[in-house]
Chain A
Amino acid sequence: MTDIWNFLQSRMPDLLTALREHLVISFSSILLGSLIAIPLGIALVYNRIRWLNTVIFFIANLMQTVPSLALLAVLIPLLGIGIKPAIFALLLYSIMPILRNTYDGFHAVDRHVLESARGMGYSTMQRIFTIQLPLSLPYIMSGIRITTVYIISWATLASLIGAGGIGQLIISGMGVNKPELVFAGAIGAIALAFIADWLLGLLEKWLSGKFGRMGGAEA
């Protein structure tokens, strides 16, 4: 027990660096992934060309199946090594679940509500922002929450390409037979995932409160 304590104390700067790198990588890829996937999901709901939806979902699914090492190898000539290819790879992995949930959330909105809004003279943009987006928020947020937890675990792939993170602790700990490193890394990843999920839960509550009132007042 004292061993672990001593170890934690002596390696604290490294552990904090790893946590920070991990956080930056996960957060950036989720943020960029959401910025791409949510608008794309909305666009697909309004898209009239059926086959295009199929193609885009196919591509998003396909990206999930590319092995990370292969993807990173391909990215070296384009994005080099370090944090950039790591974020890019994770961003690709994050698109599908967020896209799918946004799309399904919009489809789950009661048609009659939309019809009556249209009858009251709402424009498409108004319908999206004051009705569909608030009503599908639980779907979108649950997509983001699930993806965040996954991405925090997948972000260990950053250690394959020189971007550090918690994965580096785990992999190097395994490589040199230092279980305390693996342990510290695993605990760090679990803690990050819990905290992130909790914060996103708060965000979801706050957003639904805000949008809920707004939607209620205008509808």
Chain B
Amino acid sequence: MSDVHRTYEIRCPIHGFVALNDWEWNVISQPAFQRLRRIRQLAWTDYVYPGAMHTRFEHSLGVMHVATLLYRAIVKNSKSILTSELAYNDTGLERDLQLVRFAALLHDVGHGPFSHASEDLMPIGEGGKRYAHADYSVAIIRSELRQAIEEHPLNDNYRFQAEDVAALIAGGARRSKHSVFWRDVIDGQMDADRMDYLLRDSYHAGVQYGKFDLHRLVSTIRAVSYDDRAPRFGIAQGGVHAAEALVLARYFMFTQVYFHKTRVAYDIHLRGALKELLPAGHFPRPVDGELQEFLAWDDWRVLGLLSEGKGGEHGARLKTRDHYRLVFWTPEVPHENDLRQLELLKGRLGGLVVAEEAASKSWYKTGPTDIPVVDDLDETIVNPLSDHSNVVKNLESNNQVLLYARHEDVPKAEGIVEEVRENDRSK
């Protein structure tokens, strides 16, 4: 029998080493997790930034590492709140660290080929809402990974069920109980996912936009309790500029990398090709009897089919790098007049427009998740980050609309765009 107390370290270009215990090692050795080696993190971004060939596998390990840093910092900085308001004791805190590590490790295990780029091909579920990758992650944890989570000898110390990990990812009330506090580590404005992907994507794309001071931010994070509300994640005042940098890093990465006009064009072609390649035009559902077929879809399979000439017109465009061209775009923050001009232009361009894409993203959300900042001199004074930071407060959401045409139609489309703009200018 192997040594269940053995620990492992995996090299990581961002964090140096990511440490795992034997239990986690067993989970990542499962085929459902190893599949992430064959799911690229940023789809066809390498057609613009050639270095961006990294996978969900290394990102998932990185998220577990960062989640651990955040967890330990909060316990160190806010143990009294965790014990008095959430009824934690040391055993509970040790237990939930392992739970958070599993949730962080597995939160992306349900991605389809090429990650987010294929998410629109997930089918509509009950209630009329489209399934998301998190629905698949939860289904995979409950089925394919159940045994690896529940039957490792180390689990005799924790008695986890796979459902506990699923509940932390999905927000299940019954099983999560006070552990629901840690959901912000997995999915929040300062979550481990965001902190890892900004640094990792930036590194692999070869840009500097995604950088921020991870360790400064981690050292200032804490649980904050005020106004008879449930405790939530916050920071000490000294972390304001590190938190600002995180928000700005996200803004720059989206505008410069994720929403790059050519990268967005390849998302269009991937979706178009997948519609041709997938039976019924969409992925199987995350339910018994269909999940195995979903797991059989990865980048290798799609690339193999594209290589055989399948995938229709969009498949051919991917293969030959003959992408749609951007012919019109609104400002990042369009106002009434911009939207009116867009509607007018769409009417004039008619069939020349082959795709309309929305580059929509909110950089920072105020309200329940506005990061509370605790005053350095008086801990009873709590103000939101958006109040401390003019930069954050004034960053308006991106709602850019992009119109694309075929390469051969670009001169005609650009002529119409110029005509409409000239008319607007002369009014």
A binds B: no
